[in-house]
Amino acid sequence: MLFVELLSNLLLLTGGFFYLAGTVGLLRFPDVYTRLHTLSKADNLGLGCLLAGLALKADSLVLALKLLAIWPLTLIASAVVGYAIAHRADRLGIPAWQREKP
């Protein structure tokens, strides 16, 4: 029981870490494409860890399954919205950021 509790808390903290990394990336990365990368990858992994951690704390199996069912939905959402935003940015003629040559 203690082990499950520990694992659950570890997953929650890992989730928080990925959310933090996503926000830091959003603040630091140079253009809309790179920012999209952080949001669609780091934040989704953060949510996945969070849901797994909470599922371990759930009172019943069915509640745990319900928590885990949220993850694929947000994955679909960020995959399609991420593509749509990148596509639109490309259509608007926003160039990909490049490091200046020294």
Partner 1 sequence: MGLFIASLLRRTVGFALIWWIAAEGSLVAWPLAVIAVAASVAVSLRLLPPGKASAISVIGLAGFLGYFIRQSMLGGFQVARLALQRRPQLHPAILAVPLTLPQGLPRMLLTGTLGLMPGTLGVRLEDEFLHMHVLDRGMPITEEVEQLAAHIARLFGVQR
Partner 2 sequence: MKSLELPLALFLLINLAAALIRATRGPTAADRMLAALLFGSTGVGILVLLAFVQRSFALIDVALTLALLAAISGIAFAQRTWGLTGRSRQRRAVEREDDHAFR
| Nearest to partner 2 of 95, 102 (CB atom) | 95
Q: How far apart are CA 10 and CA 90, in angstroms?
A: 39
| CB-CB neighbours of 50 under 10 Å | 21
16 binds, among partner 1, partner 2, none (CB under 5 to 8 A by kind): partner 2
Write the DSSP assignment of 27-82 as a string of letters: HH-SSHHHHHHHIIIIIHHHHHHHHHHHHHH-SSHHHHHHHHHHHHHHHHHHHHHH
21 binds, among partner 2, partner 1, none (CB under 5 to 8 A by kind): partner 1
Q: In whole angstroms, how close is the CB of 2 to partner 1 at the nearest point?
A: 26
- Binding residues vs partner 2 (CB under 8 A): 5, 9, 12-13, 15-16, 19-20, 22-23, 26-27, 32, 35-36, 39-40, 43-44, 46-47, 50-51, 54, 57, 63, 66-67, 69-70, 73-74, 76-78, 80-85, 87-89, 91-92, 94
